[in-house]
């Protein structure tokens, strides 16, 4: 178990199939009191009337996305206030990453952007049970990540890292590179 020297909320983002879920789960398990908030859970809770985010999306999809982000942050804040280390994992790409940072009222906050190569993402996408790409392409989502997402927190190239190695990099470097 890890000590609470780096206690806080760890916000892990990146493109689909970048390893967010696996890394977030492993990181949360290392804490004596750890919680993994899976952002996509809040998307799945909308059983009718959900509008998906698409490359050329409509205003309602953006409103629903912001609502889901706010709910995920509220859950993370509540767990943190109850004494847990929280790992909040979600696809947060573009200027909205800065908004998410502002939503989180508890400090310290660690922002980690998993940033593997497009080839690594394609390989991981093929190896997993769920498929995230279809209407979005890896290149489109990666372009948005690289060009539109603020360069805050720790951007970690995980192309050649296992999930376990990624967690170790986060732990070793979080306090100096990821703290926002």
Q: Residue ranges of the domains in the chain? A: 4-178
Residue 115 and residue 93 in contact, taking contact as beta carbons nearer than 8 Å: no
Cα distance between residue 58 and residue 54, in whole Å: 8
Helix, strand, coil shares of the chain, percent, nearest 5, are 50, 15, 35
What was the pLDDT predicted at 5?
65
**Rg of the chain (C-alpha set):** 15
What was the pLDDT predicted at 175?
84
Burial 69-91 (b: 16+ CB within 10 A, else e): beebbebbbebbeeebbbbbbbb
What rounded mean pLDDT belongs to the chain? 90
Statement: residue 153 has pLDDT above 90? yes
Residue 80 and residue 11 in contact, taking contact as beta carbons nearer than 8 Å: no
The Cα-based distances of 77 to 38, 70, 86, 98, 106 in angstroms read 14, 10, 8, 17, 7
Strand partners of residue 35: 86
Fold of 4-178: Rossmann fold (3.40.50)
How confident is residue 4, by pLDDT bands cut at 50, 70 and 90? low
Cα distance between residue 94 and residue 8, in whole Å: 23
Residue 15's CB: how many other CB atoms inside 10 A? 28
Q: 51-86 pLDDT, tens per residue?
A: 988 777 789 988 999 999 999 999 999 999 999 999
Instruction: Indicate the pTM of the whole model.
Output: 0.92
């Amino acid at each position: 178990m890890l000590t609470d020297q780096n206690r806080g909320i760890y916000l892990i983002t990146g493109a689909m199939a970048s390893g967010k879920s696996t890394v977030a789960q492993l990181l949360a398990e290392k804490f004596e009191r750890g919680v993994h908030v899976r952002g996509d859970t809040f998307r799945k809770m909308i059983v009718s009337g959900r509008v998906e985010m698409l490359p050329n999306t409509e205003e309602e999809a953006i409103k629903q996305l912001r609502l889901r982000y706010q709910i995920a942050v509220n859950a993370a804040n509540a767990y943190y206030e109850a004494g847990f280390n929280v790992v909040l994992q979600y696809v947060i790409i573009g200027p909205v990453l800065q908004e998410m940072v502002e939503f989180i009222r508890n400090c310290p906050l660690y922002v980690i952007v998993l940033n593997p190569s497009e080839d690594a993402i394609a390989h991981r996408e093929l190896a997993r049970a769920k498929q995230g790409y279809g209407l979005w392409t890896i290149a489109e989502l990666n372009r948005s990540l690289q060009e539109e997402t603020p360069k805050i927190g720790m951007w970690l190239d995980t192309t050649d890292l296992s999930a376990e190695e990624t967690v170790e990099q986060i732990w070793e470097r979080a306090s100096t590179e990821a703290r926002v």
